[in-house]
Amino acid sequence: MSKTLDDTGVDHAVRKDVEAALNAGILTELQASRFLALVADRNTAAGDEPFTVFRGMNEIFIIAGLAILSVGWAAFVNVLSAGSSYQEVVPWACAAALLPLLLLSEYFIRRRRMVGPAIALALFFAVNALIGIWPLVEGDMPSIFGSYENLPATLLLSGCALCLWWLRYRVPFAMAPIALAFVAAALVFAAERVESPTSFRDIFLFSATGPFAWITMAAGLVALAVALAFDASDPHRVTRRAAHGFWLHIVAAPAIVNTVALSLLDAGHPFALFPVLALFAAFAVIIDRRSFLLASCLYVVALANAVTEGEGAWAAILGLGVVLLALGSFWTQARSRLVAVLPAWFPRHVLPPVHSG
């Protein structure tokens, strides 16, 4: 039976039933609004990948307030540190900011259940933890390419602090900075024991000196495995588990795809990139994650010219543009055909349902 959806993605019949339950006093206005939002999310997930950064102008208003508040606090700390050393002021300032951050998190995340402010607070907590731990461990502001033997411990402690924050508030976006903190710790640890990378691209190139590309690839595979576990636990993409998987895919895709793609470009084999990217594209379509393919392609385009210095990158970039346009237009149809040819032993029940295009 076909459904007639309104501009919010809710079936008209369902909306009438909810309005009747609301008028009868069976549902409250809050319960009705949350139920309609859930129905809209499910209908959206049937043809698209759910993605929510904020749910209204009020959330943007609050994010702006949080940003201005953080800038004001940073300016105040800068004034306080004018006559003191960095190590004396910053740890105390970060410790003083910890309680307000937790109180704001309790209100906007656990009580108001806001999406945008939760992302902003996750970022602020991560930055506050990193800046506060740095002077305690290092004694100065380090550089990722510098010689700081305690920097891996700093990054690990910051990532662990954010893990504790996530255990309390379960904000999906926190998965991204947590993963990046642990990856950065592994890269800096390797840089302290072998030659430091000379540029950012060395992190993705197998031809570069050191194990950096292998670390990046391994980290991407681990992040992908965790993301797939979240996806498998919520194939209909209606809970926060799917959102956790989304942000992990954003981290995993560049780590895996870029390491392979940019290494091929650097080796002078731009046309060998097409079958490799085709495999990744098929994988993204099967697991129904546009975010995985989009994140990887954007990073490949951004770094391709830097690696090849413009020679041969144009073919790969044009090909990526064509592929993204084609998949964006016929994603549902392509997915139904790919899933249909999967072997019988493949656990299709962990994949999102296939909808006819």
Buried b (16+ CB within 10 A) or exposed e, 300-338: bbebbeebbeeebbeebeebbeebbeebeeebbebbeee
Residues 254/216, Cβ–Cβ less than 8 Å: no
Q: Is the model's pLDDT at 267 over the cut of 50?
A: yes
Whole-angstrom distance, CA of residue 81 vs CA of residue 79: 5
Q: Is the model's pLDDT at 37 over the cut of 90?
A: no
Q: Is the model's pLDDT at 268 over the cut of 60?
A: yes
Q: Is the model's pLDDT at 313 over the cut of 90?
A: no
Whole-angstrom distance, CA of residue 47 vs CA of residue 290: 12
Of 85-94, 117-126, 135-144, 222-231, give the lowest mean pLDDT range. 135-144
What confidence score (pLDDT) does residue 181 get? Answer: 94
Q: Which of 268, 259, 228 is nearest to 246 (CA)?
A: 228
Which CA distances in Å does 239 have to 59, 232, 279, 281, 326? 20, 12, 28, 25, 29
The 3-state DSSP class for residue 11 equals strand
What confidence score (pLDDT) does residue 142 get? Answer: 46
User: Model confidence at 86, in pLDDT bands (50, 70, 90)?
Assistant: low
Mean pLDDT of the region 346-357? 80
Q: Is residue 107 part of a domain?
A: no
Which CA distances in Å does 185 have to 150, 189, 212? 10, 6, 11
Mean pLDDT of the region 287-294? 87
Q: Is residue 280 part of a domain?
A: yes
The 3-state DSSP class for residue 5 equals strand
Range of the domain at 344: 243-357
Q: Is residue 262 part of a domain?
A: yes
Split into its structural domains, the chain has a count of: 1
Q: Is residue 342 part of a domain?
A: yes
Q: Is residue 88 part of a domain?
A: no
Which CA distances in Å does 233 have to 48, 59, 86, 325? 18, 29, 46, 30
What confidence score (pLDDT) does residue 2 get? Answer: 45
Element (H, E) at 215: helix 212-233
Counting residues of the chain whose pLDDT is more than 90, the rounded percentage is: 29
Q: Is the model's pLDDT at 346 over the cut of 80?
A: yes
What confidence score (pLDDT) does residue 219 get? Answer: 93
Q: Could you tell me the pTM of the whole model? A: 0.80
Between 138 and 342, name the one with better pLDDT.
342
Q: Is residue 276 part of a domain?
A: yes
Q: Is residue 175 part of a domain?
A: no
Q: Is residue 142 part of a domain?
A: no
Q: Which of 194-198, 295-299, 309-313, 348-352 has the highest mean pLDDT?
A: 348-352
Residue 11's DSSP bridge partners are 5
Q: Is the model's pLDDT at 330 over the cut of 90?
A: no
What confidence score (pLDDT) does residue 349 get? Answer: 87
Residues 76/89, Cβ–Cβ less than 8 Å: no
Of 2-6, 40-44, 245-249, 250-254, give the lowest mean pLDDT range. 2-6
